Amino acid sequence: MKTRKLRNIEVSAVGMGCMGFTHAYGKAPEEKEAIRLVHRAFDRGCTFFDTAEMYSFFKNEEFVGKALKELPRDRVVISDKFWPKPLPGQAMPEGKLSEAGIRQSIEGSLQRLQTDYIDLYTEHQMEDGSEEQVAYVMGLLIKEGKIRGWGQSSPSAGQIRKANTITPITAIQSEYSMMERKWEKDLLPLCRELGIGFVAFSPMGNGFLSGKYTPSDKFQGDDVRRVITRFSPENMEANQPLLDLVHRYADRKGCTAAQISLAWVLKGGDFIVPIPGMRSESRITENLGAADIELTDEEYAALTAALDKIEIHGDRDGKDIAKLGTVPDSVDR
């Protein structure tokens, strides 16, 4: 697979978001099958795997650790995130974002991931005023070899600039897709200016842009689409013009709607790396295959201009997701 660089870290052009292997999208595959799927993605060229300590409260990290331990460590890139507030079982009297708190977090993550270093370590949802302290500690961890680079999740432009002057940021992680484009005004240009990578989660609008769901579909259990407003029947119907547009371009390029959605994200800049979830063999083939779908400059400009004219109904809001009771407060994925 083609590769890209998040500042100095080389990764596959399309990464794998691993959250869905333990929660948030309904019934997950059995662990043995899930590990097989991770290995299958690796065999097809995927080297970038994303997790977080708060996904299923540490269980997702444990899963990723089991899945990756059988693969060559120097050929996989682990992206992990630490929550800004203590999670169950974390006693941190000095605060989660103190040096002691961050060190406690990373030591726990290293143990669960069964590795002695994390490639990309990201503050998962920014706390106002924390950026300079966190950046300083990240610099220490880089010097100690515990991490190769660090990042911020859904920060403001001001938070990026402050932190980047202390310890250069490797990558920003935020939602980015045809359905969520707010970062185009400031964060994406800033990342390009400062040489910072951009990791795009939910690059297919939580699966909506795959075109595989209908207003009559029912989502069960801890599936976040039960509460994400873009998946309400009325909003799915209202967003049909977007799917029609995506399908037209997919037909022209001889690919799927999901692949066009990912190809559009990739075309936005060589510093952008989408991390869709993929929990079946067919989705792995489809999503990773998007790296081979190339939109011309003219196609990208025309598609983007058409997107500009379409109103998006509903969104993906952390407060809505929290209603499921599967995550604390809100979640950036």
Token readout for 261 is: 């959605």
By CB atoms closer than 10 A (0-12, 13-18, 19+), residue 125 is buried
Q: What is the largest CA-CA distance in the chain?
A: 58
DSSP 8-state class, residue 177: B
Report the chain's C-alpha Rg in angstroms.
19
User: Taking the CB of residue 3, how many other CB atoms lie within 10 A of it?
Assistant: 13
Token readout for 311 is: 């109103």
DSSP 8-state class, residue 93: T
Strands (E), 182-228: 197-201
Of 55, 121, 176, 249, which one is the catalytic site residue? 55
249 part of the active site: no
SS3 call for 329: coil
SS3 call for 141: helix
What is the set of active-site residues? 55
